[in-house]
Amino acid sequence: MMIQIPGVLDAQTVQRCRQLMAEADWVDGNATSGAQSALAKRNHQLPEGSPAAREMGRIILDALSASPLFIAAALPLKVFPPLFNRYEGGEGFGTHVDNAIRIQRGSDFRIRSDLSATLFLVDPDEYDGGELTVEDQLGTHTVKLPAGDMVLYPASSLHHVTPVTRGARLASFFWIQSMVRDDGERRTLFELDTTIQSLAAERGQGDPNIIRLTGVYHNLLRRWADV
């Protein structure tokens, strides 16, 4: 399931992030690559734990905790501290799959990567290329979102970033361990949740059928959640 989440960061916050990125020192993006990714990856990245990365990471995690759509879609148990990359001058990232387990450097923090996230920090008209392309059971999907918007997709998906031929593509990327490991089960819960919210807006939360559907949602979550 691929889900776009608009407006995770507002324009002022995006500008703050871009200022921090402009003043920061960048390193080769393969600093965090696995063996497969290192063969396909050409970009630059902020060092993990750098002051800029830490500040922007806190900003993004606070924004995610205030996003009902993110919570409903991801059912997050753990979120890996956000990382930040830059593509320019023909840089891209060939087809790959993300590592199943991500470990934060210098700590014992680790997660199972159920979901991958890309949060765009520049608008599409500022650069050419740089599309995120994800392959799943329903086909191939290409994403290039406005600054402040984010896309979620299964970390098990094959995906790539096309070469950037003009300007620079700036983004945050990170992974989520969900309370519900299975993508199909998460999709069912998300569709049920959004249907309940839509009906509640029409009929009110006290409608008996909405109360029953809410019970079904929580009973399924109780059955499928791994916490």
Residue 4 to residues 142, 152, 153, 168, 185, Cα–Cα distance (Å): 12, 6, 9, 22, 18
**Sign of dihedral through CA atoms 27, 43, 139, 125?**
positive
Give CA 62 to chain center in angstroms. Answer: 14
State the pLDDT at residue 32.
Answer: 59
pLDDT for 127-159, tens place per residue? 999 999 999 877 899 999 999 999 999 999 999
State the pLDDT at residue 38.
Answer: 58
Within the chain, which residue ranges are assigned CATH 4.10.860? 183-224
Query: Measured in Å, how far apart are the chain's first and last C-alpha atoms?
Result: 21
State the pLDDT at residue 41.
Answer: 85
Give CA 68 to chain center in angstroms. Answer: 14
Tokens of residue 50, six digits: 């750098």
State the pLDDT at residue 31.
Answer: 64
Top CATH class of 3-178 equals mainly beta
State the pLDDT at residue 109.
Answer: 94
Segments in the chain below pLDDT 70: 31-39
DSSP assigned state of 46: P
- Model confidence, pTM: 0.93
14: CB partners within 8 A, 6+ apart: 121, 147, 148
Out of 1.10.357, 2.60.40, 1.10.150, 4.10.860, select the CATH number for domain 183-224.
4.10.860
Give CA 185 to chain center in angstroms. Answer: 19
Strands 158-161, 93-96: pairing is antiparallel
Within the chain, which residue ranges are assigned CATH 2.60.120.620? 3-178
